[in-house]
Amino acid sequence: MRVLTSNPRDDGFYMPAEFSKHSGCILIFPERSDSWAYGGYKARKAFVEVCKAIAKSEKVTVCASEKQYENARYLLPDNIRVVEMSSNDSWARDYAPTFVTNGREIRGINWSFNAWGGLFNGLYFPWDKDDKMARKLCDLYDVDMYDMSGFVLEGGSIHTDGEGTLITTEACLLSGGRNPDMTKEQIEQKLAECLGISKVIWLKNGIFGDETDEHVDNICAFVKPAEVVLAWTDDESDPQYALSKSCLDILENSTDAKGRKIKVHKLYLPKPVYVSEDECGGLDTMDFEPTRTVGERLAASYVNFYIANNAVVMPFFGDEADERARETLAELFPEREIIPIYARDILTGGGNIHCITQQIPAID
């Protein structure tokens, strides 16, 4: 593995869309007891279901700590690779490498990770083991690595169409906890050099209360070039309404890198999900402070599905909107099996299906 100091765009590399073919997917086994209720017992079951669903059509690799290795190996089927690797938590999308390709070769990008805002408004400290994972994974996959460690970015804060367009949110990328010394134009320039894109569509916000500073992957995702799904509610009294409406206005007035208008499909949200007494009671404190409060609203959405080669792995919450979301996704992905996974036990950790998975592109 070489550490490269050039940039992917100049080397002819770009970030493909999630809907293009993958060679695999990476997840990290959950265990930290101030993120995951009851020491992660239920979260691990949910992660296992996500792994099995993805493994039906692509190679899944799970990173587990020394402590969880035997358990992960026991709970996961043999066709899923388990490797021992230390981390601070379980957010593969955000700090596994962002993989780029030129169609013949794959390389990884190692961004700087600071737990969604560092000492400004980050969610935990320390995050050093997470931040080392991209390098370790580039070694594991034997791919050359671009060192972008001067730039703070999480994989969940960007989506690309693989044809030159990237969507993101201002709430996250312009947050004081990311790259406060860079202007919006400089950030665009960096994204262009690293991901081979030429157009950024800036949404203002994401999902109400999303503790990542509103990652795009929970509110808006490409389903094909020039077509996106957008998390939506018709309830104007819900604080989410104004956020989704603002995204809709921006998307409907945007063109992509190829000059095409963006078609927006609304993906209706579940009713708000609140942390229960039982869930709260199952969490350890962080630095002597509780990490959740009873009745706190969680950032529930269906947009954080994972597009596997032959399937779309989507969350469900036991809400009456679950079936409507499944139908919407089935219409949008007629070639893929829709696999719903009960995701409340991922949501209570502040997560979703997209942010626990990192795809690896396929090459010819």
Q: Using CB under 6 A, list all residues that contact ligand KQY.
A: 35, 91, 94, 123, 156, 211-212, 215, 349-352, 355
Which letter does DSSP use for residue 261 in this model? B
Residue 110 corresponds to which tokens in the numbers above?
Answer: 């190692």
- Using the minimum distance from each CB to ligand KQY, give the nearer residue, 154 or 163: 154
CA dist., res. 209 & res. 347, Å (int): 12
- Using the minimum distance from each CB to ligand KQY, give the nearer residue, 40 or 156: 156
Report, in Å, the least distance between residue 352 CB and ligand KQY: 6
- Using the minimum distance from each CB to ligand KQY, give the nearer residue, 214 or 256: 214
Whole-Å CA distances, 337 to 224, 253, 311? 16, 32, 4
- Using the minimum distance from each CB to ligand KQY, give the nearer residue, 226 or 230: 230
- Using the minimum distance from each CB to ligand KQY, give the nearer residue, 160 or 352: 352
Residue 51 corresponds to which tokens in the numbers above?
Answer: 């792994």
Edge-to-edge strand list for the sheet holding 306-307 = 306-307, 311-316, 337-342
Report, in Å, the least distance between residue 163 CB and ligand KQY: 25
User: What percent helix, strand, coil does the chain show, rounded to 5?
Assistant: 30, 25, 45
Report, in Å, the least distance between residue 14 CB and ligand KQY: 23
CA dist., res. 162 & res. 185, Å (int): 21
Phi, psi of 128, deg, nearest 5: -60, -35
Q: 277, 170, 175: which is closest to 220 by C-alpha?
A: 170
Give the start-end residues of each E strand in 196-349: 199-203, 220-224, 227-232, 263-268, 273-274, 297-298, 306-307, 311-316, 337-342
Report, in Å, the least distance between residue 91 CB and ligand KQY: 5
- Using the minimum distance from each CB to ligand KQY, give the nearer residue, 196 or 349: 349
Q: Which residues pair with 100 in a beta bridge?
A: 107
Report, in Å, the least distance between residue 240 CB and ligand KQY: 16
Report, in Å, the least distance between residue 149 CB and ligand KQY: 19
CA dist., res. 194 & res. 57, Å (int): 28
Q: Are 93 and 357 in contact (CB under 8 A)?
A: yes
Bond preceding residue 126 cis, omega within 30 of 0: yes
From 25, 138, 172, 355, active-site residue: 355
Q: Are 169 and 178 in contact (CB under 8 A)?
A: no
- Using the minimum distance from each CB to ligand KQY, give the nearer residue, 100 or 298: 298
Q: Which residues pair with 64 in a beta bridge?
A: 84
Residue 139's CB: how many other CB atoms inside 10 A? 12
CA dist., res. 336 & res. 193, Å (int): 32
Q: Is position 51 annotated as part of the catalytic site?
A: no
Q: Are 99 and 108 in contact (CB under 8 A)?
A: yes
- Using the minimum distance from each CB to ligand KQY, give the nearer residue, 92 or 200: 92
Report, in Å, the least distance between residue 50 CB and ligand KQY: 14
Catalytic residues: 355
